[in-house]
Amino acid sequence: MSVIERPLETIQELFRKNWKEGESTDKNDFGVTKHFQELFDTREKLSKIPVLDAQSISTLPLNSLVRFRCMVQDTELSQEVALFASTISNKPDGEEAFICHRYSDGPHEDQMLTSRQNQELMDLRSSYYCVSVPGQSQWVKDADKPTDLDAAVDGLKLEEKKASEVIAERFPFPAVSHFAAVVKTHSSDVSIGVADMVEVIGVLGASDKVSSGDSFDFQEESTAGPRIPTVHAILMNKVEDHGHPELEVNGRPTETDLENLTRDAKTIRENLIQYIAQAVRGDKFAAELVLLQLLARVYSRPSGAVLGKFSLNLKDSTANSPVAKSLENVAKSVLPKVHAIPMTLENLNKNYFYPRGEEHLCSGMLQVTRGTLLLLDETAMEEGTLVDQGIKNLKAVSDVSLYQTLNYVFPYNSLEFQTDISLLIISFGSSLIPVDCGITLKPEPASPDQQSEPTEEELQSFRRYISALRLAEYKFSEDMAKEIETEFMEQRKAASAAGSTLITPNDLALNISLARLVALSKGELTLTRECWDHAVALSKQIKERSSTTTTE
């Protein structure tokens, strides 16, 4: 496909056809965005574009079209004034032409600028430091590769290049290998924030030297900073928080997807609970809560409240319990983005869980994209003292659990950013982190037929089920709301008359949250009486299991 091999030729044709002299460079892309959107308007077509990552960077040629799915780690790199278009003279024949440089590093080696200064137009570029998606599961990486890599790069002049470099403190997880690139955007309409997950379609540029500060150093003789690859963005789309490579970028399941899921949801639900139960020592009630937690997301923030979050704490007092590792393996097999954090004293006292900035923005373990599951293993914590840094880290995790916010700390102030991070905490006793729900595990011996591993086909169905239903539109009917309100008031009156404990607004809020998740897990997009009763029953069991002791 010539546009993949030589995208700059396509861009130059559009420039010659559509550019009008005297137009503003910051508001006119001379049809490039629309042209490439139409060329790659489906996931199937997008999959033909080679993926840019740590492996492919060593062979993909400069100025070829690439696809980079990444997290924006920092949006505050210095803006630069770059050459938009100029009259150049081609070597060796000296033929002159008016060439657009917007999506490239500038004139090629076989081109030279003429002395006509009035034939030069400048452009303002914004640069973002982007990293490979933190915690991305292996099945997503495999699925995101072109179906036929040979076909995708057919005709490209491959060349071996030096492996790319990264800035370690700009990735959330210490000692985890990753890939980084500087994405340069040319549109004033792009609105991208830190920790956003984006899919960039653009032209692969040369590697720039990035200094320890936030600026770029374009002097070849400079030795400061690592060399980071550059991508000149043509399309830069936010990816919804599902992260599933087969779903559309906007994340909303199609009508066909929903029809299939609602038809098969109850069967998938039962099989998935059984699969999760293997990781929590046969405890099917705990497995059901884990499933609901995997479907949870923040869907609204009315008047400061945070609706949809559901942090979960599983308490297991068994020494050397395999639960944390087993849950990590299960989660990575069905979720697009998962990372396990051992909550050791060393991790808490010596690392950073929150981003902080001086010369540039350094990452923290909580700077991840929306929809990421963080599995916190408090059973790894040993006896000792939490220093000031450890206390600050626990405060950052608590803020995520309680409010789904994360402070980015700077020398003279801090900025609060909204998050949507799933927290699943494994501990011996009650967690150090305040959670929405905490229960004690009750192991149950599993029969041989319950210990079988799911097939690849079943895993695929689990993945689509979670990713699609998590973002499905859910409605709470007025009739059902009135029915629940009446029931709540009657229960409070009855409890008051009997002198028993009153059901609280917090209890009601938990029941409503559970009911939404139960309904979605069963493929129901509106709340039914059956789902409400199921949620109330779960809530009662949660209270019973919140203080019981694990049995062998």
Going by C-alpha positions, the residue among 353, 289, 296 that lies closest to residue 327 is 289
Domain count, the chain: 3
What is the rounded distance in angstroms from the CA atom of residue 49 to the CA atom of residue 7?
11
Which helix (H) or strand (E) segment holds residue 70: the answer is: strand 65-74
Report the pLDDT value the prediction gives residue 154, as an integer from 0 to 100: 47
Which of 238, 272, 291 finishes a domain? 238
Report the pLDDT value the prediction gives residue 146, as an integer from 0 to 100: 61
Query: For residue 233, which phi and psi values (nearest 5 degrees)?
Result: -70, 130
The model carries a pTM of 0.91
Residue 525, domain extent: 473-539
Do 260 and 393 fall within a single domain?
Answer: yes
Q: 37-76: per-residue pLDDT in tens?
A: 999 988 889 889 999 999 999 999 999 999 999 999 999 8
What is the rounded distance in angstroms from the CA atom of residue 461 to the CA atom of residue 265?
10
How do strand 312-315 and strand 422-427 relate by DSSP bridges? parallel
Report the pLDDT value the prediction gives residue 250, as an integer from 0 to 100: 57
Per the domain annotation, does 244 fall within a domain? Answer: no
Report the pLDDT value the prediction gives residue 161, as an integer from 0 to 100: 52
If you average pLDDT over every residue of the chain, what do you get? 86
Measured over the CA atoms of residue 374, residue 379, residue 382 and residue 387, the dihedral's sign is positive
Which of 180, 210, 238 finishes a domain? 238
Per the domain annotation, does 523 fall within a domain? Answer: yes
Residues of the chain with pLDDT under 70: 1, 21-28, 90-94, 108-120, 146-163, 188-190, 210-225, 241-243, 247-253, 446-451, 547-552
Do 514 and 468 fall within a single domain?
Answer: no
Per the domain annotation, does 112 fall within a domain? Answer: yes
What is the rounded distance in angstroms from the CA atom of residue 114 to the CA atom of residue 108?
14
Report the pLDDT value the prediction gives residue 208, as an integer from 0 to 100: 74
Do 28 and 148 fall within a single domain?
Answer: yes
Per the domain annotation, does 247 fall within a domain? Answer: no
Which of 189, 213, 238 finishes a domain? 238
**Dihedral in degrees, nearest 10, Cα atoms 169, 172, 175, 180:** -70
